[in-house]
A and B are shown apart, each in its own frame.
Chain A
Amino acid sequence: MDFLTFLQISDTAVRFAIPLLFACLAGLFSERAGIFDIGLEGKMLAAAFFSAAIAALTGNVWIGLLAGIGASLALSIIHGLASITFRGNQLISGVAINFLAAGLTVLIAQAWFKQGGRTPSLSDFGPNARFTSITLPYADQMEDAGALGLVYSELISGHSILVYVGFLMVPLTWYILFRTRFGLRLRAVGENPAAVDTAGVSVVGLRYAAVAICGILCGMAGAYLATALQAGFVKDMSSGRGFIALAALIFAKWRPWYALWACLLFGFLQALALRPDAVERLVQIDIPGQLLDALPYILTVVILAGFVGKAIPPRAGGEPYVKER
Chain B
Amino acid sequence: MTVMQRLLGASAVLALSAGTAAAEPALIFDLGGKFDKSFNEAAFAGAQRWAAETGDSFREIELTSEAQREQALRRFAEAGANPVIMTGFAFGSVLGEVAPDYPDTKFAIIDMVVDQPNVRSVVFNEHEGSFLVGMMAGLKTETNTVGFIGGMDIPLIRKFACGYAQGVLAANPDANVVANMTGTTPAAWNDPVKGGELTKAQISQGADIVYAAAGGTGVGVLQVAADEGIFSIGVDSNQNYLHPGSVLTSMLKRVDVAVYDALTQGTDLETGFNVMGLANYGVGVALDENNEAIVSYDMLAQVYAAADKIVSGEMMVHDYMSDDSCPALEF
Q: A residues within 8 Å of B by Cβ?
A: 5, 8-9, 12, 15-16, 110, 115-118, 121, 123, 225, 229-232, 234-237, 239-240, 270-271, 274-277, 289-290, 293
Contact = CB atoms under 8 A, between A and B. Distances in A.
A289 B152 CA distance: 13
Interface in B188-207: 190-194, 196-198, 200-201, 204-205
Interface string B112-124: 0000000000000
B33 interface: yes
B223 interface: yes
A53 to B, nearest CB: 16
B35 A277 contact: no
B184 A290 contact: yes
A62 B190 CA distance: 26
B223 A116 contact: no
Interface residues of B: mostly helix, strand, loop or mixed? helix
B317 interface: no
Contacts of B106: none
B197 A16 contact: yes
Given A229-B196, A234-B220, A237-B190, A293 B35 contact: no
A164 B201 CA distance: 22
- How many B residues touch the partner, as a band? 20 to 34
Interface of B: 33-37, 41, 178, 180-181, 183-184, 187, 190-194, 196-198, 200-201, 204-205, 216, 219-220, 223, 226-227, 242-243
A274 B223 contact: no
A271 B201 CA distance: 9
B212 to A, nearest CB: 13
A274 B242 contact: no
A240 B183 CA distance: 13
Nearest to B201: A274
Nearest to B191: A239
A117 B33 contact: yes
Contacts of B36: 116
Given A121-B223, A271-B197, A239 B190 contact: yes
Given A274-B180, A293-B183, A123 B226 contact: yes
A132 B186 CA distance: 30
Give the interface centre of B34, B181, B184, B223 by most chain A CB atoms within 10 Å: B223
Contact of A230 (B35, B183, B192, B201): B192
Contacts of A229: 193, 196-197
A237 B192 contact: yes
Contacts of A275: 201, 205
Contacts of A5: 204
B147 to A, nearest CB: 12
Contacts of A240: 187
30 contacts: A8-B204, A9-B201, A12-B197, A12-B200, A15-B197, A115-B35, A116-B34, A116-B36, A116-B37, A117-B35, A118-B219, A121-B242, A123-B227, A123-B243, A229-B193, A230-B192, A231-B223, A232-B223, A234-B216, A235-B190, A236-B187, A237-B191, A239-B194, A270-B194, A274-B180, A274-B197, A274-B198, A276-B180, A289-B181, A293-B183
Contacts of B193: 225, 229-230, 237, 239
